[in-house]
Amino acid sequence: MKDATNNFLRTNLLGTGGFGEVYKGVLPDGTPIAVKCAKIGNTKSTDQVLNEVRILSQVNHRSLVRLLGCCMDMDQPIMVYEFISNGTLADHLHGLRSPLTWHHRLSIAHQTAEGLAYLHFLAVPPIYHRDVKSTNILLDEKLSAKVSDFGLSRLAESDLSHISTCAQGTLGYLDPEYYRNFQLTDKSDVYSFGVVLLELLTSQKAIDFTRPSDDVNLVIYVKRLVMEERLMEAVDPTITKDATDIELDTMKAIGFLAVSCIEETRQNRPSMKEVHEEIELIMTLGENH
């Protein structure tokens, strides 16, 4: 890994987080890779990396980042992933990379929902991601979405309706019910995904202190506009500007789907499978016209 990353050269650094650092590397056969290193001697960081290995070695889906291998030196475990070349969804939505058309945003929503529905319904036991957000959705050269960062993910126990666990995740994306009663369910991911849908529609950040104080939280801001029947005012003007009536209808439909995902009470939220099917339906409506 030292050879592949040029001895973890700083110019190869892709990102840092609570877990440690991620470097770009190249294998001897020319395959580009991403190398995630835990913080040395930090047990929490090591635990997250080991958890991610455990989760990712059990799953295989085109919308989830692939784990290629790992090195389990307990001082500093290292994970090797496929390299995803086009940055994060957040980079594209918040001006750090090229902007996305509505068509691309819709297919990113669809692919992400498909990956999460796979984790909830096809993985055995089911897996709750627990940190769904736009910085954890990577885009490849074709702008296809890959869900990443499973450091906080949990395996569900088949006979339990929820997992009791300390609320972890990212402010602005955190399921309020999970935050209140520490019960993690598949609907906690649905809530976070609803926030990502709002980001795709508005190009706004989940938490942004440059908005008026009542609107700092994107969920509260959009819910207020929905109450006032002004949902479309929240949508990024760059995608509404030259949009056809059908495209505007699909934006509205995604907006209302997002609002159903961010319902306060988890019983009122759709499942990830239902969300995926709904996005599929919205896309076909757009294509059929």
Q: Which residues belong to the active site? A: 131
Give the Å distances, CA to CA, from 158 to 114, 127, 163, 175, 186.
Answer: 21, 11, 10, 21, 12
- The residues that bridge with 15 in the sheet, in sequence order, are 22
Backbone angles phi, psi at 13, to 5 degrees: -70, 125
35 and 76 Cβ atoms separated by less than 8 Å = no
Pairwise CA distance, residues 146 & 51, whole Å: 19
- Strand 13-17 and strand 20-26: the pairing is antiparallel
Q: What SS3 state is found at 261?
A: helix
- Contacts of residue 91, Cβ cutoff 8 Å, sequence gap at least 6: 97
**Rg of the chain in Å (alpha carbons):** 19
Residue 272, both tokens = 């990830």
Q: From start to end of the chain, where are the E strands?
A: 13-17, 20-26, 32-38, 67-71, 78-82, 127-128, 137-139, 145-147, 154-155, 163-164, 183-184
Pairwise CA distance, residues 122 & 168, whole Å: 24
Q: What SS3 state is found at 207?
A: strand
Backbone angles phi, psi at 107, to 5 degrees: -70, -30
